[in-house]
Each structure stands twice: as structure tokens, then as C-alpha cells.
Chain A
Amino acid sequence: MDWLTRIEDLSYLGAAALFIVGLKQLGSPATARQGNRLAALGMLLAIVVTLLDRQIISYTGILAAISLGSIIGAVAAYKVEMTAMPQMVGLLNGLGGAASALVGIGEFCRIVAVGEPLPLSTLVTIILGVLIGGVTLTGSLVAFGKLQGLISGTPVIFPMQQGINLGLLVAFLATSVLIWLDPSQMGLFWSLVAIAGVLGVLFVIPIGGADMPVVISLLNSLSGLAASAAGFIVGNSMLIIAGALVGASGLILTQIMCKAMNRSLANVLFSGFGGGGAKAASGVTSAATPKTVRTIDSEESAMMLGYAKSVVIVPGYGMAVAQAQHSVKELADQLERLGVEVKYAIHPVAGRMPGHMNVLLAEANVPYPQLKDMEDINPEFENVDVALVIGANDVVNPAARTNPGSPVYGMPILDVDRARHTIVIKRSLSPGFAGIDNELFYKDKTLMMFGSAKDVLNKLITEVKQL
């Protein structure tokens, strides 16, 4: 072991430590930004040290690749709208997974080309890397397409779906065995890569748009595991450590989100939520409740809000779509000017990724202490004069508490129906991403304002200003 290798290994250790400290600091609002920078520093250290490695004999291609990637990454990071953050994270995830899979593919090609013997353990790690990386890539691309609206957000379910998935898995295993018997058959290896890609698509396509936060989080975890697998392949402990950290943290976030929806991970992944079963349940509701909807115009609504003592704003994906976070903040400012106490109630899975609403409201300069988590705000709703629901639906559906037949039954919700009045701003009565009707809209205390969140809010602001 010469001194250069030693320096390299020690630097990797340093980088791993920076990742751990960085992740730890990312978990607290006061230190989060510094934590992110520490992690970035760790990454820089790892990359620079790798460039000094003896194995590397040509730099032109590498430097071109790094420059190209940095430019694309930087431009994307600065251009992306905060509302498009879930897609962005999904896409980046996919790229990481693709890179890990490519490392596996490249190593296999190298071994075959050089004619080295292929030990079983190496083959297994390569196959795992290709599988996890490939699933992460194509799964993320489908998730990206669903979030971006390029493909339908409704679950795609076809007959024999589970059977086909199982068949593909068996084919994957069988191909793996064949490769073990004769690694020089490159055609077999490429079909292995293709099967991994198809599996990723089939894995995400039956999952509804409402469950995308969970999927993105799980894919994040998978991209970490893919990096770990790449680490096993090239025999680099830095990759193993960083990948394991990400894999574990992604898994925790996934768990937190499943808990927030009171569903198991298996249920999220395999139930095709928001499909046929949901339709049946909404049919039951429509028979049971008389459908009278009360609407309210902006003038009256402004008076209710302006003369209330306390108002709780409940943002949902509708606010994000309409880019209405700045209007929300302006309305809150006007209400506070009139002496109204304004708070924001944030459901853990509101929006399309965990914490999505917090990011948007922070963008609009809403003070952090005004954002309340579900557990904190729910006991307070009884004393709230007006709950203003902006583009949220499933996370305020009382059926989650009352209707055991509803697909959302058991999911913890924001109890906006317990406030003295509820005003709901929504484009139409159409069901949310879970695909079910919301009985909140038909309650006596509920007043609806139909329209795009931004338009309605701007009218409200004009009216409140005149109070």
C-alpha cells in the first residue's frame, strides 16, 4: 500500500464523515443549510481525491463530462420552479440510479473484454447494481412523467399485472443464471438490463399520483442502494457508505409518509389506490348524502375572514399548481393587518412530496413558526373561526374519520370540519388524486369558492383591502 492510496482512503473516510455530519445537520432547521454545504464539501473532496487515483490515465474525457454535468445540473437547479420540486428530485434520482447501473454494466463489459475470470460474488453485485439502478432510472422517469403531467396520474392497471411482474422477475433470475454459466454471451446481459428497465416502469405505473410522495422517497432510497451496489462492484467503500446512508434515510422518510397516510408500504405499492375500489366507495357516499353545495362570493368571504379572530389556512396541491403561494402570503398579511391571527396547517403528505407546502410557503416568506404540523393544529380547530382550504382535498376529507368504506378511511386528516366555518377554494367539485368524493364540500358549515386558487385569492385580497 503506497502513500497515495493511503491518502485516498483517508480522504474517503473524511468525506464519509462529512456526509454523516451533513445529514445530521440537515435534520434541524437552524443548521440545515450548513449541513447541505458540508455534504457538498464531502462530495468535492471525494471527487478530487478520485481524480488523483492511479487507475485514471486520461483526463480530457473526464473533465469534459464533469463540466457538462455541472452546467446542466446548475442550470436546472436555478431554473426549476419550487412547485416543480417533486419532479426535479424524481429526475435527479433517476440519473443517480442510471449512473450506478452504468458502472455495473461497464465493469461487466470490461471483465468480459479483458477475459478476466468472473467470480460469483462479483457477478451477483453487478446484477444487483444493474437491477436496482435500472429500476431506479425507469421508475423515476415514470414518476417524473406522472408528476409533470406527461402521462396520466391515474393508476394504470391491466389484467395479469402481478403475473407479468412475477414472470419478468423469474426471467431476470433465469437470465442471471445463464450469464453465470457463460458470461461471454453479451446478448444475455443486455436483455438483463432491458428487463430491469421494464420492471421499473411496471413498478411505478400502477401507483396513483396521490402516492407519488411515497414513491419518490422510496426511489430515493433505491438510488442510494444502487450507489452501494456500485461500490461493491468497483470495490470502493466510499460508495458503499454514502449509498447506505441515503438508502437508510430514504427508507425512514418513506416510513414516515406511509404512517401519515395510515397505510402500509405494501398497500401503497400494490393496491392501485384511486382506481376501481375508490369509485365504488364514492358511489356509496353519493347515495347517503344529499348534495347541496353552498357557494360564497369574494365580498362575503372577505368579511368573514376579515372579522374573524383566528384563521387557519390549509394549503394543498391546488395552491402549488396555481403558483398561489405569494397570493396566500399577501392575503395573510392583509388579514393580520386587521388583527386576525393567521396560522397555516400543513398535512404531512399535502402536495406531491413530503414537506412540499413548507418549501412553497417559505418561498413566499411565510414565517416558519406560523406553519403548524397536523398534531399541533388539530386540537385547535374547534376554536378557529374560519378554516381556509386552498386546493387541498383528500387530506381534509372527513370520510377518513367517519366512513369505514372509504379508501382514505383511517388516514389522519386535518379536522377543518371542526372549525366554526370552512371556506374551500377549489377549481371544481371534481375528486382529488385519491379519486374519491369529499363530503366536506356538502356540509352546512362549508362554503365553496370555485376557481383557480390564484384568481380567487387575488379577488379576496382586493376585497379584504377595502375592509
Chain B
Amino acid sequence: MTDPIIVGLIIFVLASFVGFEVINKVPPTLHTPLMSGSNAISGIAVIGALLMAGSGHTTLTVVLGFIATVLATVNVVGGFLVTDRMLQMFKR
């Protein structure tokens, strides 16, 4: 259980099952918001980008990290806000 790759795989498989269970039987009305909401969650790559941009190993990694952070932040902020905008319309 000490190999980080194995631990990662265990986490990955279990989380996938959770994802399947959680999303099952969603009414079609919510498909679009669900998609854009989960899309925003996939912007979690921002964390990897932050660690890369901030650790300052080489100029190249810092630059790549900077670009990755910008892209992932657009994904996160845009995704959550646009989902909220859609859901706000459903409320009325």
C-alpha cells in the first residue's frame, strides 16, 4: 500500500464509482447545467498548475505553470459562474 501509484489507482477507481452513483438518474432538464458544473470541477487541474508555477524550478516550468494556471482558472471561474447563471433561470 505504500506505492503512491497504487494508492492513486485505488482512489481513482473508488471515486469513479462514486461519480457513477451520484449522477445516475438526473432529469434531462439538468443535463446542461450538470455538464458545465462538472466541467468547472475538472478545472481542479489548477492545483497542479499552481504547484508548478509557484515552485520555481526552471523558467520553463514557471512559464508553463503560469499559462496552465490562467487556463484552468478560466475553466473554473467561467464554469461555475455560467452554471449559476443557467440555474438561476430555472429557479423562477
Answer yes or no: are A and B bound together in one complex.
yes
Identify the A interface with B (CB < 8 A). Answer: 16, 19-20, 22-24, 26-29, 32-33, 35-37, 39-40, 43, 46-47, 50-51, 53, 55-59, 61-62, 64-66, 68-70, 72-74, 76-78, 80, 82, 85, 88-89, 92-93, 95-96, 98-100, 102-103, 105-107, 109-110, 113-114, 121, 125, 216-217, 220, 223-224, 226-228, 230-253, 256, 346, 348, 353-356, 358-359, 362-363, 365, 368, 371, 373
Query: Contact: A246 with B38, CB < 8 Å?
Result: yes
Known: A53-B51, A355-B35. 15 other contacts (CB 8 A): A26-B38, A32-B90, A33-B87, A40-B80, A43-B76, A47-B47, A47-B50, A61-B66, A66-B73, A99-B46, A102-B65, A102-B68, A103-B68, A223-B42, A253-B23
Query: Contact: B40 with A39, CB < 8 Å?
Result: yes
Contact residues in B for A64 (Cβ distance below 8 Å): 66
Query: Contact: B25 with A220, CB < 8 Å?
Result: no
CB contact list, B15-34 vs A, under 8 A? 15-20, 22-34
Minimum distance in angstroms from A86 CB to a CB of chain B:
8
CA distance A365 to B90 in the complex (A): 8
Query: Contact: A85 with B32, CB < 8 Å?
Result: yes
CB contact list, B42-56 vs A, under 8 A? 42-56
Minimum distance in angstroms from B75 CB to a CB of chain A:
4
Minimum distance in angstroms from B59 CB to a CB of chain A:
10
Query: Contact: A244 with B19, CB < 8 Å?
Result: yes
> Which of B19, B54, B57, B81 interacts with A73 by CB under 8 Å?
B81
CA distance A19 to B81 in the complex (A): 16
Query: Contact: B68 with A241, CB < 8 Å?
Result: no
Contact residues in B for A61 (Cβ distance below 8 Å): 53-54, 62, 65-66
Minimum distance in angstroms from A374 CB to a CB of chain B:
8
A110-B61, A220-B39, A249-B38 in contact; A359/B73 too (CB < 8 A)? no
> Which of B29, B40, B73 interacts with A358 by CB under 8 Å?
B29
Contact residues in B for A226 (Cβ distance below 8 Å): 42, 45
CA distance A231 to B78 in the complex (A): 22
Query: Contact: A92 with B44, CB < 8 Å?
Result: no
> Which of B7, B11, B35, B89 interacts with A89 by CB under 8 Å?
B35
Contact residues in A for B25 (Cβ distance below 8 Å): 27
Contact residues in A for B50 (Cβ distance below 8 Å): 47, 50-51, 53, 56, 62
Minimum distance in angstroms from A8 CB to a CB of chain B:
11
Contact residues in A for B5 (Cβ distance below 8 Å): 121, 125, 232
Query: Contact: B47 with A236, CB < 8 Å?
Result: yes
Query: Contact: A59 with B54, CB < 8 Å?
Result: yes
Query: Contact: A76 with B78, CB < 8 Å?
Result: yes
Query: Contact: A362 with B90, CB < 8 Å?
Result: yes
Minimum distance in angstroms from B89 CB to a CB of chain A:
4
Minimum distance in angstroms from A75 CB to a CB of chain B:
9
> Which of A29, A95, A216, A244 interacts with B27 by CB under 8 Å?
A29
> Which of B34, B48, B88 interacts with A26 by CB under 8 Å?
B34
Interface majority SS (helix, strand, loop, mixed), chain A: helix
Query: Contact: A231 with B8, CB < 8 Å?
Result: yes
CA distance A65 to B85 in the complex (A): 24
Query: Contact: A358 with B28, CB < 8 Å?
Result: yes
- Listed A/B pairs (12) with beta-carbon separation below 8 Å: A20-B22, A23-B37, A27-B22, A50-B47, A50-B50, A65-B66, A72-B74, A76-B78, A95-B74, A99-B48, A99-B72, A237-B8
Query: Contact: B38 with A224, CB < 8 Å?
Result: yes
Query: Contact: B55 with A55, CB < 8 Å?
Result: yes
> Which of B20, B30, B38, B54 interacts with A62 by CB under 8 Å?
B54
Minimum distance in angstroms from B48 CB to a CB of chain A:
4
CA distance A54 to B49 in the complex (A): 15
Query: Contact: A355 with B80, CB < 8 Å?
Result: no
B79, closest chain A residue (CB): A92
CA distance A365 to B26 in the complex (A): 22
Contact residues in B for A238 (Cβ distance below 8 Å): 44, 47
Query: Contact: B22 with A355, CB < 8 Å?
Result: no
B20, closest chain A residue (CB): A248
Query: Contact: B37 with A22, CB < 8 Å?
Result: yes
A348, closest chain B residue (CB): B28
